[in-house]
Structure 1
Amino acid sequence: MAADKIIADWKKGSFKPVYWLEGEEDYDIDVVTNYAEHHILPESEAGFNLTILYGRDTDWATVMNACRRYPMFAERQVVVLKEAQQMKDIEKLEAYVEQPLSSTVFVVAYKGKKVDGRSKLAKVLKEKGVMLTTKKMYDNQLPDWTMNLIKGKGFDISQKALHLLVDHIGNDLSRIDNEVSKLLINIGQRKQITEDDIENYVGVSKEFNVFELQAALGRKDMAKAMTIIQYFGNNPKAAPIQMVLPAIYNFFSKVYMIFGVSSGDERAIATAIGVNPFFMKDYMAAARAYQSQGVEKVLLLLHRYNLRSIGIDDAGTEDASLLKEMVVKMMM
């Protein structure tokens, strides 16, 4: 079951005894857990009927005893087990899941992995519990996810501002959510987030960032690329090389995919390679500037310099120097 469906049911007063939240993506698990902790029970009931436990500090017997208590002066109690993946003998909770107390809402946050599907616990959970299994979001899904997040809060964002935000933060949904919340507080009565807002409140330069570096590389604009890299060198926290290289690799990987698309229509190509049509001009420019063999060379260089950036076959060259050297070879 999806996170929004679980919360929608709770808002309608529909509760199941056991909710098992697992998987690679923490964000949805945190959203559901936070709602269970702060919104299922009114404040007047939470003092007696809300129990928060942590896997590292508890055991299965303590958890089961908490779940088997009856609520005090209320219809239900809530028991939240956080960081459940760190609890020893968690499979022993199978006995409680088999016969849960209907007046207890038991929420388990099992982050980073999934319960062993062959275990008795997994079989009982599928039969008696509500399960949420999360997957890490692909990078190409981040812009749409972020746009939907912002629109769901009643705001909008320009396409370039959106990509500045996503490219800067990367695949960290919780941090994206936090930065969006900060932006909405700072822009006041306006409903549109701009590039200036990203620069002022997130700390991403609208001129010197990975997004602009990709565009410069795609056009083979050596001067612009070197200026941006020099800015990175002077501001190491703005764009660490470990963030820059994967972003450029992703860009040129999509450029390479263009050569395998039979259609000449930009919108069709955008759909095929998973790119917003608004930015196709940058990808098409790179395809024309480098051609197929040139893009293959770029991808090989990116792999080689990624290894050097982590110390393989390199004696400690500064990040900015590595990037400059790589860019010169890319454009030769």
Structure 2
Amino acid sequence: MIPNQAIRDIQRGQLLPVYLVLGEERVLVHRVVAAIRTAALQGGIADFNQEALTAGECDVDRVLSAVRTVPMMAPRRFVLVRSVERWDSSTPKAKGKEKNKESVVQPLDKLAVYAASPVASACLVLVASKLDGRRKLVALAKKSQFLVECEPLERKALPPFIQQEAKDRGHTIDRDVADLLAEIAGPELSTLLDAIERLSLFVGEGGIITEDTVAACVTRIRPSSVWELVGAVGRRDAATALSVLMDVYEPQDRGLRLVGVLAWSTRQLLRFAHAIRSGASPDQAAVTAGAPPYKARELAKQVKNLDVAEIERWLRVLAETDLALKSSRRPPRSIVESAILTMTGGLSRLEIRPQ
């Protein structure tokens, strides 16, 4: 099951005696474990009835002893076991530490036997970044529906996640603004949540999160400057584009946020162009692109002399630029300048080799 479903079920009182929480998205893992802990320890003294263990630092018999211990003045105990992947011989860490394969497999098999018939007076939560899907424990968790998968969210899932997080804090944020935030602060949820929290404090109680507030609080880049840069690129005006770049480039983040905002703006332009070529009016195309109506005329002017293939080429250049900024030894500003020149036609391809 997915984390949101697990948390909803738990909050409705449908607490299971065993959970296997798998995945590398720490924010989701933390939320699921916190929800289970809160529900499991209701009606008792928490300090006397919870235990946190780490696989590899204790043996599996210690875990089984913990879950079979009688609760103290409470309906159940909460037992958390972290880093269960250490007991999986298929992981590199386990392979490097254990020579006897049977001794590594045995803990997971013992946990599978327990999970098939758990005690009602304990809630056991097993947390691992990854386990071999062929393990009995994993197969049982899938079949009995106590597996919670906390994998990183796909890119398309980030805007709805952002909108829900903003709503939970009493704010509204349009889908296109959420997409912008996902572009510049994602994909890691911890970074996104930090940005959302700062935006929440910035706009105040009940405030609306807009492009301008994202620009002021997160990117430090004015949307108008970005559209000016996109416009200069569209006109093949390299001189103006590089001049605008000088104003908006931030050396602190190596230009990554600027590239993210440029990619977001370019995707808006691409959606607008597709809509226009499908017969939509500029105002209708702006809505389709997720752009405010006042941008309709400006966008129509930009796509008039551009074909869709050229805008798609810009997106490929920006994707290469993002990768180069994260991996190349070349000065980041030089990489961004090369990208602008490539987009305007001044260079045939993006230059990313170190100087």
Regarding TM over 0.5, the answer is yes
1:264 to 2:279 alignment: yes
Deviation at 1:185, TM superposition (A): 4.0
Deviations 1:37-95 (A, max 9, x none): 34542495110111122345333222222222221111011112233334454523212
Deviation at 1:17, TM superposition (A): 0.8
Q: Which residue of the other structure, out of 105, 108, 115, is the alignment partner of 1:91?
A: 108
Asked if the contact 2:70/2:121 (under 8 Å) is kept, the reply is yes
Deviations 1:245-288 (A, max 9, x none): 566567657866888888333799899xx963659958776654
- CA distance in 1 between partners of 2:68 and 2:184 (Å): 46
1:321 to 2:334 alignment: yes
Question: What are the equivalent positions in structure 2 for 1:289-304 lying under 5 Å apart?
Answer: 289-295=305-311, 297-298=313-314, 301-302=317-318
- CA distance in 2 between partners of 1:21 and 1:269 (Å): 44
1:189 to 2:205 alignment: yes
| Mean CA deviation greater in 215-224 or 121-130 | 215-224
1:116 to 2:132 alignment: yes
Letter in 1 for 2:251: P
1:157 to 2:173 alignment: yes
Count of residues in correspondence between the two structures = 322
Classify the secondary structure of the residue corresponding to 2:219.
coil
Q: 1:227 to 1:49 in 2, by over 3 A?
A: farther
Asked if the contact 2:152/2:188 (under 8 Å) is kept, the reply is no
Asked if the contact 1:156/1:191 (under 8 Å) is kept, the reply is yes
Letter in 1 for 2:124: F
Q: 1:131 to 1:283 in 2, by over 3 A?
A: farther
- CA distance in 2 between partners of 1:31 and 1:308 (Å): 34
Question: Which residue of structure 1 lines up, in the alignment, with residue 254 of structure 2?
Answer: 240
- CA distance in 1 between partners of 2:194 and 2:177 (Å): 16
Deviations 1:23-43 (A, max 9, x none): 354332221112223454249
- CA distance in 2 between partners of 1:189 and 1:226 (Å): 39
- CA distance in 2 between partners of 1:20 and 1:118 (Å): 14
Letter in 2 for 1:96: Y
Question: Which residue of structure 1 lines up, in the alignment, with residue 350 of structure 2?
Answer: none
Letter in 2 for 1:331: T
Letter in 1 for 2:208: Q
Asked if the contact 2:44/2:75 (under 8 Å) is kept, the reply is no
- CA distance in 1 between partners of 2:3 and 2:175 (Å): 27
Q: Which residue of the other structure, out of 219, 222, 246, is the alignment partner of 1:204?
A: 219
Classify the secondary structure of the residue corresponding to 2:67.
helix
Asked if the contact 1:195/1:206 (under 8 Å) is kept, the reply is no
Unpaired stretches in structure 2, ≥5 consecutive residues: 89-103, 346-355
Asked if the contact 1:218/1:289 (under 8 Å) is kept, the reply is no
Classify the secondary structure of the residue corresponding to 2:22.
strand
Question: What are the equivalent positions in structure 2 for 1:298-313 lying under 5 Å apart?
Answer: 298=314, 301-302=317-318, 309=325
Q: Give the TM-score of the pair, scaled to structure 2.
A: 0.71
Q: 1:147 to 1:102 in 2, by over 3 A?
A: same
1:173 to 2:189 alignment: yes
Question: Which residue of structure 2 lines up, in the alignment, with residue 12 of structure 1?
Answer: 12
Question: Which residue of structure 2 lines up, in the alignment, with residue 127 of structure 1?
Answer: 143
Asked if the contact 1:6/1:32 (under 8 Å) is kept, the reply is yes
Letter in 2 for 1:34: A
Q: Which residue of the other structure, out of 268, 286, 290, is the alignment partner of 1:276?
A: 290
Identity %: 20
Asked if the contact 2:83/2:127 (under 8 Å) is kept, the reply is yes
Unpaired stretches in structure 1, ≥5 consecutive residues: none
Letter in 1 for 2:222: E
Higher Cα radius of gyration: 2
- CA distance in 1 between partners of 2:134 and 2:261 (Å): 38
| Mean CA deviation greater in 65-74 or 117-126 | 117-126
Deviations 1:150-172 (A, max 9, x none): 12333213567545533321212
| Mean CA deviation greater in 280-289 or 96-105 | 280-289
1:68 to 2:68 alignment: yes
- CA distance in 1 between partners of 2:194 and 2:125 (Å): 24
Question: Which residue of structure 2 lines up, in the alignment, with residue 26 of structure 1?
Answer: 26
Deviation at 1:297, TM superposition (A): 4.8
Letter in 1 for 2:246: Q
Question: Which residue of structure 1 lines up, in the alignment, with residue 93 of structure 2?
Answer: none
